[in-house]
Chains A and B, each alone.
Chain A
Amino acid sequence: DAGITQSPRHKVTETGTPVTLRCHQTENHRYMYWYRQDPGHGLRLIHYSYGVKDTDKGEVSDGYSVSRSKTEDFLLTLESATSSQTSVYFCASGGDRVNEQYFGPGTRLTVT
């Protein structure tokens, strides 16, 4: 569990403000992912990265952007937060064993 961390763990912000969530992994994993978890929807992929500066959209990418300047860090940005983005956000990372993913502890974001 110590191999992947997220910050902050909790955040309350107002509608219209920008928010950045950070994911940090020490496993030297190539792949990193951002998911959101909402009741009744399981885990939905927002964006993922397959290498430094290489990212792609997931199924719920609208309103989110990502950046990966180093192998160990993957940032998720909400440019202008909306109440519909209130959720629990999980980061995950995975190595060369195809599709195996390990999750961070999560960030609970509330947009008021």
Chain B
Amino acid sequence: GENVEQHPSTLSVQEGDSAVIKCTYSDSASNYFPWYKQELGKRPQLIIDIRSNVGEKKDQRIAVTLNKTAKHFSLHITETQPEDSAVYFCAASRNDYKLSFGAGTTVTVRA
């Protein structure tokens, strides 16, 4: 099955700086890559996703990039704010309606 590795496991950034989280996947047939944000005690929420026919996607301060050749994708958060503090999960999927998740990155934005 698909194996997704996520790095780093924790990330501390100064407010206003950028944060980058990287994930690698093992199954070259994977073609859908979502990112979820989970605040403490809350449910994971889909914040952005990318499909394999696209190399980059942006939504305001967040962006995701995909390198299919190297089998890795990244989440970029610019101008970080305190409300960006959360656990972020990447995931990967083939066209089989199942997601394989990374272990998560705890992001802390320091004021």
Contact = CB atoms under 8 A, between A and B. Distances in A.
Interface of A: 1, 31, 33, 40-45, 48, 50, 58-59, 90, 94, 98-106
B101 A42 contact: yes
Contacts of B95: 98-99
In order of increasing CB-CB distance, the 6 nearest A-B pairs are A42-B101, A103-B43, A99-B93, A43-B101, A99-B32, A42-B103
Contacts, number: 53
Interface residues of B, number: 22
B46 interface: yes
A48 B93 CA distance: 14
A34 B40 CA distance: 20
Contact of B44 (A48, A59, A99, A103): A103
A98 B46 contact: no
Interface of B: 1, 6, 32, 34, 36, 42-46, 49, 89, 93, 95, 97-104
A90 B97 contact: no
A105 B45 CA distance: 10
Nearest to B4: A42
Nearest to A56: B98
Contacts of B100: 45
Contacts of B99: 43, 45, 99, 101
A106 B98 contact: no
Contact of B43 (A1, A40, A99): A1
Contacts of B44: 43, 90, 103
Contacts of B97: 31, 48, 50, 94, 98-99
B46 A102 contact: yes
Contact of A101 (B6, B46, B103): B46
Nearest to B43: A103
Nearest to A105: B43
Contacts of B89: 42-43
Contact of B98 (A48, A103, A104, A105): A48
A102 B47 CA distance: 11
A42 B44 CA distance: 11
A45 B98 CA distance: 8
